[in-house]
Amino acid sequence: MTDFIRQIFMLALSVFEGFCMDRLFQAFVSPRWSGLRWSTGIIGAVWVLYHGICLWQNWAFYPSSVWNLTVYLCVLFGTALLWYRGGILLKLFLVVQFAAIHELSIWAANSLIAVHMQVLEMLGNGVQQQVLSLSAFMSFVTISNVALFLAVGALREGMTYCFIRRIVKAGRFPRRFEKNILPYLLPAAASVLVAFFIRLLMLAVENSVTVTLYARYPQVSFLIPLLAVILLLANSFSFEMFQNMAAFEQQRTEKLVLENQVSSLKNSIAEMESVYDSVRSVKHDMKNHMLILRTLLDEPGSGCEAKAYLEQLYPLVEQMDTHIRTGNAVADVVVNAKFQYAKKTIPDIRFDAEDFVVPDTIAVKAYDIGIILSNGLDNAVEACQNLRRKEPDAEAEIVLRSFWKGNMYFLEIENSFDGVFVMEADGEYPRSTKPDPDEHGIGLKNIRSCAQKYAGDMDCIVKGRHFILSVMLKGT
C-alpha cells in the first residue's frame, strides 16, 4: 500500500512538474504544433514518461547523482527545441532558469529531512530511556517516512511553482532580454553550478562505507537549504531588477518618441503658419498691385512696363502655390516644406511625388500621416546631405509614392544614400549618424509607433545605393 501511494504521488508530482515547466515556457515562447489547451498535458505526459523510465531502469534518482542532473538538463533542452518556437538563446535561458528553480527547490525542501532526522534521534533516545516503546517508535518511523516523502515532494514542487510564478509575472519584455540574454542567464547558470557542486559533495566513501554530507557535517543540513532559498530569491530578484531596468528604458524611449512627435508637430504648425503668412501677405498687397497694373495699362505705350511688373509679381504669387498636391492638407504642407528645404540645402536634388496620394477616405488621422512624412522625409534629406558631403557630384533624389494592397495602404519614401548601411545591435533599426546617441532611431520609432496604431508596421529596404522606407497601414 505504501509503495502504491508513493508511485501515485510521484506520478502526480511529474505531471505538476511538467505543468510548471510549460507555464514558464509559454510566458515567453509558444508551442510549435499544439494549441495552448493541450500543451500542458503533453509536457506533463513527457515528464511522467521520463521519470517512469528512470524508476523502471532503476537509474539513480537520489539528488546526489550528478549524471542524473546532466540527463535532466538534456531532456529539458531537447523538449524545448522540439516543442517550442523561439531563438536558441531564449530557450537556453528558460531551460537553465527552470532547472535552477527546480534544483534549488529540491535542496530547500530537503531541510525537512534534517528536521525528520533530529526528531527520530530524539525519539530514539526516548526508546533507550524506555520513555517510548519500540513498537510505537517503529510505527512512527513507518508513518513519518511516508509523510516525509509526501511533504518533501509537495514543498519542492510548491516552491518551484511559486518562484516560476514570480518569473512569469515579472517577464514583461521577452523581446528585450532575448537580445541581451547574458545578464539574465548568469544568475540562473550560477545556481545550476551550485547544485552540481552540492551533488558532487553530497556522498563520500569512508572506510568502504557511503556517508552523506549531512552525516559528516550535521550543520550543513541547515546551511544548504538556507543557501538554496537565498539563491532562489537572488535569482528571482535579479530577473525582476533587469526587467524593471528594461521598463525604465522603454519609458525613457517612449518619452523621447513623444517629445520628438511634439517637436515634429510644432514644426508642421510653423510650416503651415509660414504658408498662411505668405498667403495673407500677398492677399494684402494684391489690391495695390492690381491698381498699379490698371494704371500702367491705361497709359498709352506702357505695355512693356506692365509686362515687366507682372514678371516681378509672378514669383510672389508662386510662393502661394504648393508644387505637390497629395489630396491631404497636412501632407501637402509637410511634403512641400521638406521639398523647399531639400532644394535649398541640396543643389539639383530630384524630388518626385507624382505617385503619392493620400485619399480623403483613408482611415488614418492626418496627425499620424504628418508624423510619418515628417520623420521619413527628414531622414531622407539627411541621407542625401551626407551623400553630397562625401560625393559632391553624386546624384541625389527623393521619391515619394503610395499604393494599396487590399485594405492596406502602403507609403514608401525612397532616397539616395552613400551605400553604408549598418543595423543597430538590437537589429531593429539602421544605425544613425546623429552625434547624440539618445536621438538614434527616434524618427523610425515614431514611424513604427504610428504604423502599429493602424495594425501595420515599418520596414527598411536597401537596393544598392537606394534606401526605401516602407510603411504599411490599415487604411479602411
pLDDT for 433-452, tens place per residue? 655 555 556 778 888 888 98
Q: What is the mean pLDDT of the chain?
A: 80
Q: Cα dist. 88→78, 97, 121, 243, 401 in Å?
A: 11, 14, 50, 20, 39
Among 262-266, 382-386, 388-392, the minimum mean pLDDT is found in 262-266
Contact status, residue 355 vs residue 410, Cβ threshold 8 Å: no
Cα Rg of the chain (Å, integer)? 37
d(CA 113, CA 214) in angstroms, rounded, equals 10
d(CA 241, CA 110) in angstroms, rounded, equals 29
Banded pLDDT at 63 (limits 50, 70, 90):
very low
The model's pLDDT over 71-118, given as tens digits with 9 standing for 90+, comes to 889 889 998 898 888 888 888 999 999 999 999 998 888 878 777 777
Distance of CA 122 to the CA centre of its chain: 56
Contact status, residue 451 vs residue 372, Cβ threshold 8 Å: yes
Residue carrying the nine cell digits 533599426: 429
Banded pLDDT at 403 (limits 50, 70, 90):
very high
Q: Hey, which residues does 405 pair with through a beta bridge?
A: 408
The pLDDT score that the predictor gives to residue 273 is: 67
d(CA 321, CA 248) in angstroms, rounded, equals 47
User: Please, what is the angle between helix 111-128 and helix 220-298, to 10°?
Assistant: 160
The pLDDT score that the predictor gives to residue 34 is: 56
Residue carrying the nine cell digits 510603411: 471
Banded pLDDT at 61 (limits 50, 70, 90):
very low
Banded pLDDT at 291 (limits 50, 70, 90):
confident
d(CA 159, CA 20) in angstroms, rounded, equals 11
Report which of 180, 188, 215 is spatially closest to residue 201, judged by C-alpha positions. Answer: 215
Among 136-150, 236-250, 298-312, 397-411, the minimum mean pLDDT is found in 298-312
Contact status, residue 242 vs residue 180, Cβ threshold 8 Å: no
Report which of 84, 68, 78 is spatially closest to residue 30, judged by C-alpha positions. Answer: 84
Report which of 120, 126, 122, 115 is spatially closest to residue 140, judged by C-alpha positions. Answer: 120
Which whole number is the average pLDDT over 55-59?
63
